[in-house]
């Protein structure tokens, strides 16, 4: 087995744009995962994704919130151990971030704190990009072509990583996340007091700064580029907007649109490119640079929610401690996602993390909300205006100088400017002191949770002008998250130190209170402060202790404050606090495979039916696992393998439990011993090519789907019957690809059944055994040439033992050189081996288990041994079946798969070259499926077989490749929803191959003055198909009224070459060198001429592109008989989707010497619909090049025309 798609060549053509429809992909993306596996995703108009996996034989997938994950089996233990970032397998997000278009995968390798291993060379297959000392990490790029080598160097024994690496993170993309707003935060009051940031520098880590804007003239003291953009200038505008909010002079508005700290200078660190995104490693490098040069660093950017232990957050904490810089960072714009959405690096402890409010001091709905993911620490820290903020517009000379924007990106610079003002007044203050002062002077906003606004909305004027001499050393207290059970949880204490900078003693009265989100007040026995009164001498300090006893009070998410009020003075110091008295219960899981033993592998997921959260249980070698879960009702779904120690063959069993209520310590038993086999009753004997199972569970508007795609060693699937669900939906979908058994073997005497497979996983790597053969067995050790010497293996089975000193490739080659009839290699230990890669060897190569090999050696020790081998060269049938069990898993899991209950398709795969090996795959989609999965399997072309499909509202999408590595033309087309009893015939790769537009493609069209070209370079004979070229040499030219206006590699995409008045356009497409190795379709030259004028504004109009499509009776080798009369049929008409026209002229010619000379073809019109027929006399093959070339010219009454020449359109036989 192999799974498609292999990486295409650098010359790969873009795909034509598919016509919107349920079965035609509109986009394709290819990823190489960190494990070296390749995942190719097709995107369908309705949002579905289809993933082909190459490399791993087994992989798990799951879908949550329309994010699809594909996890190869090799990664499972490392994910479970927490040493791999789960984002590395989120294929949806990887494509969204553009990693499918890069030649390498950016990663951050983190090391134990202060470990000097970061100075060591990166793992093989990767190149270092930067040492990130602040994060104890290094940034590397692992090359796509060397990802397998990289994974091999990285993956250690068990679940540890080699090279001292603690964790591998995706170096993910981070995105960028003012007139009345500046007075709103009180900045003018600070200016009046003489504090406007003068003398200070704020570093802006963003998209760059346009310092040609009048508001920023002379402000920027240095620019540096850390992004992948070519220069440090701001081509995006986000950084300029931010910078002017911090320190803009307002010059372009007569001073009306000043920034918060107009006296400050700026540093511009471009960490986001001109599209507004950047890498985590580039941002860390920018932070390290900026912190050595500026007191305040403003970062209006963010990734995803984290617990503050990710590389960017770690770097913020360490850099701030080492340099004394305060990082002011946006909370993020994911507030619509609810709680725990504050993004990194704003999740760093030391960061001053900023939420957004509008001008009425209402929380902006987009503002990310706390608490921090995981530990539920207090985040964000403060709020500031972030809605409809007007600030400088980059590159705006001669136009509007200001632009309005929304986001926590806009709120952050308000706080950064205020920090610059405060630092001007208190130049010796630490980052923590600046952060605390800004938080303690913020204005708490009524009706908004502290977990949403932090300490409150920024009051820059109060912070800068306050005359009080008292200060605290903490702006917030995160008292923790507690999971229970309660009664013996240790109390938590936090100390807050108050300092009196005045000349007289001060007395503070202290109170502490907290209230839960549900309205419960924390009682005194739960939350207290001691002492209740502090007397602080002039110039001195005193400390109070806040104590939380988690055992007292109600369960809930609490926020509150420690308030210090000065006796006889105006000072009120408020330190916000929060804690989560959660209640989670110990849940233990025991899994038992169908044979009563611990599973060889177990994938166990628990899905909360109330909140839609997914939890995974790691099950150990004994079948035991556990975790803590909040109260609720859960669906439990599992895939349990049964291991065969002789060869690691496995069968899988699905065991489910529904509405498991967790309200205390809970034990969940997943017992596969009552499982029933899922069996298809087919008329003939069949075996599995591949099997997979997917379960889905829906509750309310939420859905969770988990699936397992099994490798070649799995040939049986089971499930344990279950009771019907009473809430929402459930379905178990069992997917089967069945064929005629390819190989059977037995010892003739004593009768002993063996279970061999072809080396290489059953791929079409070499000769297959066809029919029944009885052959004697000869043992030749490890199959070296020396061991074959002197042994008569001619026409016999050479029995060979696997060895680390010689590859199976060489063992089979040596057997073939010794004239053996078959090479049978048995394993040196348990399990199978898949390192056989030879294509087209001279003899069949078989794989046996270690147990089977030893049994044969034992029999050979007693006397001669003869094996009976039965095989088929290819299966005449394929069954693509999906057995869905909805609502429950029934007791009887067998089902009827007779042709009358299925849809029949007679599929003919035509060959384009001798000895062709192609690849087949099949996606299946249930109505709820967000992603479909397939692997691909080698098959020799031509291939004529009957396919049967389940007719139960399952949609199937076929996948074909003309080459074994996916680096050739791939067939694409629509397939109808299967209907029981239906019968159709489909030809794939039937010539002649010609450029054009098929029904599956969006028509060539015009909108305004832009032509939208969409000519595929290869169409086969089926009008519903098109073929994607991956390697032909092509060039396209566009002419307007005879003058060339464009030239490009392909006749695809949008070209602004139109004029308002009607003009004649001609598109020429030359396929100068066809697919390497192809015998037919080697060259083509096409020219389409059509008239067009500008239409209704914005309206897309299909153009009158004329086509002449051939329909020839070619056999499976794309050939026709030589020295005979052969019928030709063609249809001339406008492209699909364009209005029909009257064709007035059609001429055709034929050549038998590859276009050296041409003969006219007499054509006869077949009615008035553009159909024509003719006949030609094929010469003897010896009197020709062995091929027939075709030429056609057609025109309509409006002057539109097509001319097309197809060299070697088909072969003679």
Note the pLDDT of residue 1075. Answer: 74
Note the pLDDT of residue 113. Answer: 73
| 449/867 Cα distance (integer angstroms) | 77
Fold that domain 175-466 belongs to in CATH: Rossmann fold (3.40.50)
Note the pLDDT of residue 965. Answer: 60
pLDDT beyond 90 at 916: no
Q: Which of 213, 236, 238, 1178 is catalytic?
A: 238
Tell me: the pLDDT tens digits for 146-162?
999 999 999 988 889 99
pLDDT beyond 80 at 972: no
Q: Which of 34-43, 531-540, 601-610, 1002-1011 has the lowest mean pLDDT?
A: 34-43
Work out the burial of residue 696: count CB atoms within 10 Å of its CB; fewer than 13 is exposed, 13-18 middle, 19 or more buried: buried
Question: Nearest 5°: CA angle at 87, between 86 and 90?
Answer: 105
Note the pLDDT of residue 988. Answer: 92
pLDDT beyond 70 at 115: no
- Count Cβ atoms below 10 Å from residue 974 Cβ, excluding itself: 16
H or E segment at 877? strand 877-886
- The mean pLDDT value of the chain amounts to 91
Nearest CA to 589 out of 487, 488, 690, 662 is that of: 662
Q: What are phi and psi of 817, to 5 degrees?
A: -65, -30
| 414/275 Cα distance (integer angstroms) | 24
Nearest CA to 213 out of 177, 249, 186, 238 is that of: 249
Pick the CATH number of 584-728 from 3.30.230.20, 3.20.20.20, 2.60.40.1120, 3.40.50.1820: 2.60.40.1120
| Length reported for the chain | 1213
Question: Nearest 5°: CA angle at 768, between 766 and 774?
Answer: 130
Note the pLDDT of residue 396. Answer: 79
**Is-contact 516 556, C-beta < 8 A?**
yes
pLDDT beyond 50 at 646: yes
The mean pLDDT value for 423-433 works out to 95
Fold that domain 477-579 belongs to in CATH: Immunoglobulin-like (2.60.40)
Tell me: the pLDDT tens digits for 815-858?
999 999 999 999 888 766 655 566 667 899 998 988 899 999 99
Note the pLDDT of residue 389. Answer: 92
Is 409 one of the annotated active-site residues of the chain? yes
| 23/778 Cα distance (integer angstroms) | 52
| 1104/1091 Cα distance (integer angstroms) | 7
pLDDT-derived band of residue 368, with 50, 70 and 90 as boundaries?
A: very high
Please, where in the chain does CATH 2.60.40.1120 lie?
584-728
pLDDT beyond 90 at 364: yes
**Is-contact 57 32, C-beta < 8 A?**
no
Note the pLDDT of residue 116. Answer: 60
Please, where in the chain does CATH 3.50.30.30 lie?
743-871
Kindly give, in sequence order, each residue whose CB lies less than 8 Å from that of residue 280, ignoring residues fewer than 6 positions away. 108, 139, 169, 171, 172, 174, 303, 310, 311, 312
pLDDT beyond 80 at 1172: yes
* Of 223 and 469, more confident: 223
Tell me: the pLDDT tens digits for 651-693?
999 999 999 999 999 999 999 999 999 999 999 999 999 999 9
Is 915 one of the annotated active-site residues of the chain? no
pLDDT beyond 60 at 10: no
Proportion of the chain above pLDDT 90, given as a percent: 77
CATH code of the region 743-871: 3.50.30.30
Please, where in the chain does CATH 2.60.40.2310 lie?
477-579
| The pairing of beta strand 822-826 with beta strand 845-848 | parallel
Q: Which of 23, 171, 196, 206 is catalytic?
A: 206
Note the pLDDT of residue 5. Answer: 19
**CA torsion through residues 597, 598, 603, 604, sign:** positive
pLDDT-derived band of residue 8, with 50, 70 and 90 as boundaries?
A: very low
| 772/776 Cα distance (integer angstroms) | 14
- Encode 191-203 in three state secondary structure: HHCCCCCCCCEEE
Q: Which of 249, 298, 344, 409 is catalytic?
A: 409
| 1037/1046 Cα distance (integer angstroms) | 6
Q: What are phi and psi of 379, to 5 degrees?
A: -155, 145
Note the pLDDT of residue 1029. Answer: 60
In the block, tokens 């039965």 appear at 870
| 747/607 Cα distance (integer angstroms) | 50
Tell me: the pLDDT tens digits for 398-408?
788 999 999 99
Tell me: the pLDDT tens digits for 1184-1211?
999 999 999 999 999 999 999 999 999 9
CA distance from start to end of the chain:
33
Q: Which of 209-218, 284-293, 933-942, 984-993 has the lowest mean pLDDT?
A: 933-942
3 state SS of 296: strand
Work out the burial of residue 829: count CB atoms within 10 Å of its CB; fewer than 13 is exposed, 13-18 middle, 19 or more buried: exposed
* Of 676 and 572, more confident: 676
Question: Nearest 5°: CA angle at 393, between 390 and 398?
Answer: 125
Please, where in the chain does CATH 3.40.50.200 lie?
175-466
pLDDT-derived band of residue 877, with 50, 70 and 90 as boundaries?
A: very high
pLDDT-derived band of residue 4, with 50, 70 and 90 as boundaries?
A: very low
| 721/688 Cα distance (integer angstroms) | 22
Is 234 one of the annotated active-site residues of the chain? no
Note the pLDDT of residue 835. Answer: 59
Tell me: the pLDDT tens digits for 370-405?
999 999 999 999 999 999 999 999 987 778 899 999
Structure tokens at 1059: 């004029």
């Amino acid at each position: 087995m192999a799974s498609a798609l292999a990486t295409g060549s650098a010359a790969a053509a873009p795909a034509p744009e598919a016509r919107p429809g349920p079965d035609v992909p509109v986009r394709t993306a290819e990823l190489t995962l960190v494990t070296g596996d390749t995942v190719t995703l097709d995107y369908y108009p309705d949002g579905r994704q289809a993933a082909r996996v190459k490399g791993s034989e087994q992989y798990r997938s799951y879908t949550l919130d329309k994010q699809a994950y594909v996890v190869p089996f090799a990664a499972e233990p490392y994910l479970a151990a927490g040493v791999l970032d789960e984002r590395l397998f989120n294929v949806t997000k990887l494509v969204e971030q553009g990693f499918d278009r890069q030649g390498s995968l950016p990663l951050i390798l983190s090391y134990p704190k202060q470990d000097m291993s970061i100075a060591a060379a990166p793992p093989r297959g990767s190149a270092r990009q930067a040492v990130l000392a602040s994060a104890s990490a290094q940034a590397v790029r692992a090359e796509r072509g060397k990802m397998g080598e990289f994974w091999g160097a990285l993956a250690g024994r068990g679940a540890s990583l080699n090279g001292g690496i603690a964790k591998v993170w995706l170096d993910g993309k981070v995105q960028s996340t003012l007139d009345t707003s500046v007075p709103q935060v009180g900045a003018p009051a600070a200016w009046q007091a003489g504090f406007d940031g003068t003398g200070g520098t704020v570093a802006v880590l963003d998209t760059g700064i346009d310092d040609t804007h009048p508001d920023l003239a002379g402000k920027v003291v240095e620019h540096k580029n850390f992004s992948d953009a070519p220069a440090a200038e701001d081509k995006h505008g986000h950084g300029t907007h931010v910078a002017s909010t911090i320190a803009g002079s307002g010059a372009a508005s007569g001073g009306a649109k000043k920034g918060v700290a107009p006296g400050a200078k700026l540093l511009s660190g471009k960490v986001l490119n001109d599209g507004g995104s950047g890498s985590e490693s580039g941002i860390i490098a920018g932070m390290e640079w900026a912190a050595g040069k500026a007191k305040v660093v403003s970062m209006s950017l963010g990734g995803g929610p984290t617990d503050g232990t990710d590389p960017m957050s770690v770097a913020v904490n360490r850099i701030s401690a080492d340099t004394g810089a305060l990082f002011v960072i946006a909370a993020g714009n994911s507030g619509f996602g609810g709680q725990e959405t504050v993004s990194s690096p704003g999740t760093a402890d030391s960061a001053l993390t900023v939420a957004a409010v509008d001008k009425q001091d209402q929380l902006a709905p987009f503002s990310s909300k706390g608490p921090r993911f995981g530990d539920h620490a207090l985040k964000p820290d403060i709020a500031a205006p972030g809605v409809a903020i007007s600030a400088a517009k980059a590159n705006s000379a001669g136009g509007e100088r200001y632009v309005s924007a929304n986001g926590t990106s806009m709120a952050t610079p308000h706080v950064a400017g205020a920090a610059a003002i405060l630092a001007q007044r208190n130049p010796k203050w630490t980052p923590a002191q600046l952060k605390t002062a800004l938080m303690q002077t913020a204005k708490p906003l009524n009706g908004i949770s502290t977990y949403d606004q932090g300490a409150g909305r920024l009051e820059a004027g109060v912070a800068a002008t306050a005359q009080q001499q008292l200060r605290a050393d903490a702006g917030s207290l995160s008292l923790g998250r507690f999971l229970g059970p309660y009664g013996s949880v240790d109390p938590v204490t936090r100390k807050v130190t108050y300092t009196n900078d005045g000349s007289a003693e001060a007395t503070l009265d202290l109170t502490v209170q907290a209230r839960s989100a549900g309205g419960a007040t924390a009682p005194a026995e739960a939350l207290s402060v001691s002492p209740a009164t502090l007397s602080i001498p002039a110039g001195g300090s005193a400390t109070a202790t806040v104590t939380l006893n988690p055992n007292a009070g109600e369960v809930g998410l609490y926020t509150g404050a420690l308030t210090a009020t000065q006796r006889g003075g105006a000072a009120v110091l408020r330190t916000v606090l929060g804690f989560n008295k959660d209640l989670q219960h110990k849940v233990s899981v025991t899994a038992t495979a169908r044979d009563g033993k611990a599973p060889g592998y177990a994938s166990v997921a628990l899905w909360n039916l109330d909140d839609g959260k997914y939890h995974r249980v790691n099950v150990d070698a004994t079948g035991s696992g556990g975790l803590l879960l909040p109260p609720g009702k859960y669906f439990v779904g599992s895939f349990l393998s049964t291991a065969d120690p002789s060869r690691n063959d496995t069968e899988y069993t699905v065991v489910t439990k529904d509405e498991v209520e967790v309200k205390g310590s809970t034990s969940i038993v997943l017992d596969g011993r009552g499982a029933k086999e899922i069996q298809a009753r087919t008329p003939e004997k069949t075996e599995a090519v591949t099997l997979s199972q997917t379960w889905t569970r829906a509750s309310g508007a939420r859905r969770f789907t988990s699936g397992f795609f099994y490798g070649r060693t799995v040939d049986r699937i089971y499930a344990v019957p279950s009771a019907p669900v009473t809430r929402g939906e459930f379905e178990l979908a069992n997917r089967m690809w069945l064929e005629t058994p390819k190989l059977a073997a037995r010892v003739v005497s004593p009768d002993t059944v063996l279970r061999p497979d072809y080396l290489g996983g059953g791929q079409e790597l070499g000769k297959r055994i066809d029919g029944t053969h009885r052959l004697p067995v000869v043992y030749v050790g490890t199959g070296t040439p020396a061991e074959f010497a002197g042994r008569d293996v001619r026409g016999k089975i050479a029995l060979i033992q696997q060895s680390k000193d010689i590859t199976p490739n060489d063992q089979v080659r040596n057997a073939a050189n010794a004239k053996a009839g078959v090479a049978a290699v048995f394993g040196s230990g348990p399990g199978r081996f898949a390192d056989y890669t030879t294509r087209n060897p001279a003899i069949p190569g078989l794989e046996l288990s270690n147990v089977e090999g030893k049994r044969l050696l034992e029999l050979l020790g007693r006397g001669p041994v003869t094996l009976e081998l039965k095989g088929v060269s290819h299966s005449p049938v394929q069954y693509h079946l999906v057995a869905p069990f909805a609502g429950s898993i029934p007791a009887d899991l067998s089902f009827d798969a007779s042709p009358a209950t299925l849809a029949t398709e007679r599929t003919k795969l035509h060959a384009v070259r001798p000895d062709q090996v192609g690849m087949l795959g099949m996606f299946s989609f249930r109505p709820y499926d967000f992603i479909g999965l397939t692997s691909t399997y080698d098959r020799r072309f031509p291939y004529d077989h009957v396919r049967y499909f389940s007719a139960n509202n399952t949609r199937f999408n076929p996948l074909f490749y003309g080459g074994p590595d996916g680096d050739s033309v791939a067939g694409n087309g629509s397939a109808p929803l299967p209907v029981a009893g239906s019968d159709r015939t489909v030809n794939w790769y039937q010539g002649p191959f010609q450029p054009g537009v098929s029904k599956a493609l969006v028509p060539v069209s015009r909108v305004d003055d832009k032509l939208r070209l969409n000519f595929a370079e290869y169409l086969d004979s089926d009008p519903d198909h098109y073929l994607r070229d991956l390697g032909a040499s092509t060039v396209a030219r566009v002419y307007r009224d005879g003058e060339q206006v464009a030239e490009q590699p392909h006749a695809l995409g949008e070209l602004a070459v139109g004029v308002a008045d009607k003009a004649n356009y001609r598109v020429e497409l030359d396929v100068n060198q066809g697919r390497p190795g192809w015998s037919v379709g080697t060259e083509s030259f096409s020219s389409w001429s059509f008239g067009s004028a500008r239409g209704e504004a914005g309206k897309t109009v299909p153009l009158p592109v004329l086509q002449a499509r051939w329909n020839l009776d070619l056999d499976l080798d794309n050939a026709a008989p030589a020295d005979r009369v052969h019928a030709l049929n063609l249809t001339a008409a406008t492209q699909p989707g364009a209005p029909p026209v009257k064709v007035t002229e059609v001429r055709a010619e034929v050549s038998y010497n590859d276009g050296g000379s041409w003969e006219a073809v007499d054509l006869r019109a077949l009615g008035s619909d553009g159909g024509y027929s003719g006949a030609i006399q094929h010469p003897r093959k010896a009197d020709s090049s062995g091929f027939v070339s075709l030429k056609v010219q057609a025109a309509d009454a409006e002057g539109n025309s097509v001319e097309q020449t197809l060299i070697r359109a088909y072969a003679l036989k």
